[in-house]
């Protein structure tokens, strides 16, 4: 007789361990989620719509599309997880080339086996520490990437290797002049770690930064724009937002309103009002 185990109110379909701890995959009400030994979901996928972005904060991380409605060049992703954003990019931007850096080899395997991350010649996955990788390739990858996505947490918060100003200097160096950095931050504005990282981002990117709080969640998505990012008018962005919402069924008009509301001091650095 097969033993059925439930955890975090859902059905436990996979459990394994590596040097970093436990990895669990839970199915609940048609949604499959990746857990690292706690009820917090690291990644989620709706089984009936595996390419739909299920989590609020992951959808918010697509807000970069307001400013760069297409991606035809190289993108770098730090922190693969279940691969939701990676799948989104592969499906929607056929000309892009992706490199994903994931610290845990076992997480890469789970993304393939349980979350439908495809084998695709446009995607290269490297098992490494994301912070170390970027610093080590600061010179050889200078001005290579149009988009840099960072979603790298361990059990205690943001991974230590990316919690220093030198890391963000290296991020800026590997971005093209019109490149955008997108980073998932946690804990809200009262969190000292968030305050420190946001200050580093602001200094390194000359205050061309925007922060997007995720409604009713602890996540805040940071957007940082490199040297020669164009200035957009609010009217242009509203038009972009409506078109993007129709195309992706993602709440881009809400993202834009929230960005305007929460970035009074830097909004004019990026957007013409």
Q: Catalytic residue numbers?
A: 151
DSSP string, the chain: -----EETTEEEEEEEEETTEEEEEEEETTEEEEESSSSSEEEEEETTBTTS--SHHHHHGGGGGGT-----SEEEEE--TT-HHHHHHHHH-TT-EEEEEES-HHHHHHHHHHS-PPP-TTEEEEES-HHHHHHHTTTTTTT-EEEEEE--EETTEE-GGGSSHHHHHHHHHHEEEEEEEEEEEES-TT-HHHHHHHHHHHHHTTT-EEEEEPTTSSEEEEEEE-TTPPPEEHHHHHHHHHHHHHHH---HHHHHHHHHHH-TTTHHHHEE-
């Amino acid at each position: 007789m097969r033993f059925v185990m439930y955890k975090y109110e859902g059905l436990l379909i996979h459990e394994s361990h590596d040097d970093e701890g436990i990895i669990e995959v839970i199915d609940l009400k048609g949604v499959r989620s990746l857990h690292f030994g706690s009820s917090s979901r690291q990644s989620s996928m709706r089984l009936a719509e595996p390419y739909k972005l299920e989590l609020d904060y992951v959808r918010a991380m697509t807000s970069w599309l307001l400013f760069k409605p297409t991606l035809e060049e190289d993108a770098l992703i730090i922190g693969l997880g279940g691969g939701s954003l990676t799948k989104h990019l592969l499906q929607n931007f056929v000309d892009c080339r992706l490199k994903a850096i994931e610290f845990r080899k076992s997480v890469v395997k789970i993304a393939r086996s349980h979350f439908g991350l495809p084998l695709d010649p446009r995607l290269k996955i490297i098992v490494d520490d994301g912070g170390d990788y970027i610093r080590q390739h600061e010179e050889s990858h200078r001005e290579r990437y149009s988009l840099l996505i960072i979603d790298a947490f361990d059990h205690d918060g943001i991974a230590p290797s990316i919690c220093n100003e030198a890391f963000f200097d290296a991020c800026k160096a590997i971005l093209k002049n019109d490149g955008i950095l997108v980073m998932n931050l946690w804990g809200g504005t009262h969190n000292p770690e968030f305050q420190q990282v946001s200050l580093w981002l602001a200094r390194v990117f000359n205050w061309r930064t925007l922060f997007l709080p995720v409604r009713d969640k602890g996540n805040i998505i940071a957007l940082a724009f490199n040297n020669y990012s164009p200035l957009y008018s609010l009217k242009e962005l509203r038009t972009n937002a409506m078109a993007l919402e129709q195309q992706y069924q993602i709440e881009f008009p809400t993202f834009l309103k929230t960005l305007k509301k929460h970035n009074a001091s830097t909004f004019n650095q990026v957007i013409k009002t």
